[in-house]
């Protein structure tokens, strides 16, 4: 089965800049019209705003025609988070909670915000500093939900590969979402995680394919992993862009299609905040990329990719 393109809903939670209600709805509608049927969200995104907006847009759609994932590990409590990267987010503050009860409360709250009766996939979200609590609390809760057929699949979503490898080995999960670690610039997920998932039959969703902006527009002002991109990485991205240009392909097209080349990858997740961005991503994902370009990019990656 060929990898699918999915819509990541973080931008719909006003990530870095506001998105109007009409634009948010139009973005999801455009994704549906483009044939996208995989949608990913989390309580963190807009402190509940993205879940509400995505639920509003999907509620009238045939429920058996799309896959929806959300996450657990952060509960939303009263209070404003002044350091939030979500502009104008509701006066709710995300707090880590990887306990068994926290998972149950989180799922209940997510369903209420979305106005839906179920999600298909439930992921433990960013347990970087909470691995033991996740293994003893969150994952047992997820396994119970799967056994009771409340959800179809369980897993973890993170910006790192080593801990995801541990969860694949120890937590009896069905899938992982790895963000930013299987891109043209950063190949760390390919060292162990992707081969392990392929061996164990664990489906991989790849997010962060633009490394938060650098692989979309490699300028001196670009971001990498939600911070200012170091000059050396900007230069690497520009070399990749030049290699793409030499083969008649734009960098966005290469960045979106690269993750799908690994057999463990089932979904490539791309965020969007407007119908135009959805259209650009969908067109890029459907483009044919010459094999010669991949060979050229592999040579560049051997020199520059981030370990």
Q: The whole model's pTM is what?
A: 0.96
Q: How confident is the model at residue 2 (pLDDT cuts 50, 70, 90)?
A: confident
* Candidate list 45, 66, 100, 226, residue with the active-site label: 45
3-state SS string over 30-96? HHHHCCCCEEECCCCCCCCHHHHHHHHHHCCCCHHHCEEEEEECEEEEECCCCCCCECCCCCEEEEE
Tell me how far apart the alpha carbons of residues 208 and 157 are, in angstroms, rounded to a whole number: 12
**pLDDT above 80 for 302:** no
Tell me how far apart the alpha carbons of residues 190 and 298 are, in angstroms, rounded to a whole number: 13
Helices (H) and strands (E) in the chain, counts: 11, 12
- Please confirm, yes or no, whether 100 is among the known catalytic residues: no
Tell me how far apart the alpha carbons of residues 8 and 42 are, in angstroms, rounded to a whole number: 10
Tell me how far apart the alpha carbons of residues 274 and 163 are, in angstroms, rounded to a whole number: 33
> Which domains are present in the chain?
4-304 (3.20.20.100)
Of the two residues 258 and 300, the one the predictor is more confident about is 258
Burial of 139-169, coded b for 16+ CB within 10 Å and e otherwise, reads: bebbeebbeeeebbbbbbbbbbbebbbebbe
Give whole-number Cα distances, 97 to 18, 110, 126, in Å.
Answer: 27, 14, 11
How do 92-96 and 74-78 pair as beta strands? antiparallel
Give every CB contact of residue 142 below 8 A, 6+ residues apart in sequence: 72, 103, 122, 124, 151, 154, 173
pLDDT at residue number 12 = 98
110-132 residue pLDDT tens: 999 999 999 999 999 999 999 99
192-239 residue pLDDT tens: 999 999 999 999 999 999 999 999 999 999 999 888 999 999 999 999
C-alpha dihedral sign at 242, 243, 248, 252: negative
């Amino acid at each position: 089965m060929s990898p699918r393109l999915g819509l990541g809903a973080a931008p719909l939670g006003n990530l870095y800049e506001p998105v109007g209600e009409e634009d948010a709805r139009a973005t999801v509608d455009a994704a549906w019209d483009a044939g996208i049927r995989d949608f990913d969200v989390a309580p963190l995104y807009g402190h509940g705003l993205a879940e509400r907006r995505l639920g509003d847009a999907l509620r009238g759609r045939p429920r058996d025609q799309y896959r929806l994932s959300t996450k657990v590990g952060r509960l939303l409590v009263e209070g404003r988070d002044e350091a939030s990267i979500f502009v104008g987010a509701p006066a709710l503050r995300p707090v880590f909670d990887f306990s068994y009860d926290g998972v149950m409360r989180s799922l209940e709250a997510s369903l209420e915000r979305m106005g839906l009766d179920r999600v298909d996939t439930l992921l433990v979200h960013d347990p970087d500093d909470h691995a033991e609590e996740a293994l003893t609390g969150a994952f047992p809760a997820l396994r119970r939900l799967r056994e009771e057929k409340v959800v179809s699949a369980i897993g973890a979503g993170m910006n790192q590969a080593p801990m995801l490898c541990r969860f694949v080995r120890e937590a009896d999960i069905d899938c992982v979402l790895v963000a930013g670690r299987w891109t043209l610039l950063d190949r760390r997920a390919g060292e162990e995680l992707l081969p392990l998932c392929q061996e164990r039959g664990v489906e991989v969703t790849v997010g962060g394919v633009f490394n938060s902006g650098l692989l979309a527009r490699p300028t001196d002002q670009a971001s990498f992993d939600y911070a200012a991109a170091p000059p050396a990485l900007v230069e690497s991205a520009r070399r990749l862009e030049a290699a793409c240009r030499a083969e008649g392909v734009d960098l966005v097209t290469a960045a979106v299609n690269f993750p799908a080349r690994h057999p463990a990858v089932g979904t490539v997740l791309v965020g969007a905040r407007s119908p135009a961005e959805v259209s650009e991503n969908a067109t890029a994902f459907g483009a044919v990329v010459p094999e010669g370009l991949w060979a050229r990019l592999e040579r560049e990656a051997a020199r520059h990719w981030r370990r």
